[in-house]
Amino acid sequence: MRTLPAGEVLRLWEECRDVFPQTRALVLAAAADDAIVSVPPVERPIGRVTALLLRLRNALAGPRMSAVVGCPGCCGTVEFQATTEALLALEDKIVDSPPPLLHGGYEVVWRCLSYGDLRAVAEQPEAADPDRGALLLLERCVLSLRHDEHTAAPGAVDLPDAVREALTEAMSSADPLADLLVDLRCPDCEHAFTADFDVASFVWAEVESRARKLLLDVDVLARAYGWSESEVLALSEPRRASYLRIVTGELP
């Protein structure tokens, strides 16, 4: 994807700093969306949005992503790394129109989860219960249901546990970028655990860091040369850095 201009970075920072994480992820993904498609990101499978975020992270800071998480066993810290290339390789496995699930006499026509589903369920009070929230998400993705050749009302409430589990597994297989998990082992206590890999938080951290750096650049160069913010941001990154080195005395 294209490199984000300095003004676009500041726009994203200003627009996203006080919004919910799901809204932030969609705004950031839209900035990386070069494709002309009829389906907006909010309605696409979550993994498609994650792929856009990975491309944006790659354009902003390169392919390597490093993180530190707390060990639930000893409260120590565990570091891990991933690359955008390795994760983007999973995009080819996303199935936008999955086939019906046939299991235990049930035929379930379903679709992958979207950010629209996450938003809608998050607004419901009963979603505070994790089990109930998971069921609500599952229900939104069931489009039609047949049991022993009889059509039933769409929904997951009355599905047997085995069918629900099969459907959950099918959804994970159809969108491997929807819920990224990393298997880790603490180097101190040897405790093995699984951690969430939140791509949107990596992108936001980079946007926020770059935006704050740009604001400092504008402040320094505006004081030194009397330029406006738009004039400073219009400079290419190498030229802006050279002016800053002159101001700070690093260049003669």
What is the tens place of the pLDDT at every residue in 94-111? 999 999 999 989 999 999
Q: What are the tens digits of pLDDT across the range 4-38?
A: 899 999 999 999 999 999 999 999 999 999 877 77
Six-digit token pair at 19?
């919004």
Asked whether residue 152 carries a pLDDT value surpassing 90, the answer given is no
The whole-model pTM stands at 0.89
Token pair, residue 121, equals 């369920």
Report the pLDDT value the prediction gives residue 147, as an integer from 0 to 100: 87
Neighbours of 44 (CB within 10 A): 22
- Kindly write down the DSSP assignment for every residue of 144-212, as one continuous string: EEEETTEEE-S-STTS-HHHHHHHHHHHHHH-TTSS-EEEEE-TTT--EEEEE--HHHHHHHHHHHHHH
| Selection from 216, 212, 223, 207 nearest residue 241 by Cα | 216
Average pLDDT over the chain, rounded to whole? 92
Backbone angles phi, psi at 183, to 5 degrees: -85, 125
- Give the helix ranges, DSSP H, for the chain: 6-16, 21-31, 46-61, 84-88, 115-122, 130-141, 161-174, 199-225, 229-234, 237-247
- In sequence order, which residues have a C-beta less than 8 Å from that of residue 247 and are 6 or more positions away? 220, 221, 224
Residue 122 pLDDT greater than 80, yes or no: yes
Residue 6 to residue 35: CA distance in whole angstroms: 22
Does the pLDDT at position 180 exceed 80? yes
Q: What is the pLDDT of residue 150?
A: 73
Number of other CB atoms surrounding residue 178 within 10 Å: 19
Instruction: Output phi, psi for 76, to 5 deg.
Output: -80, -175
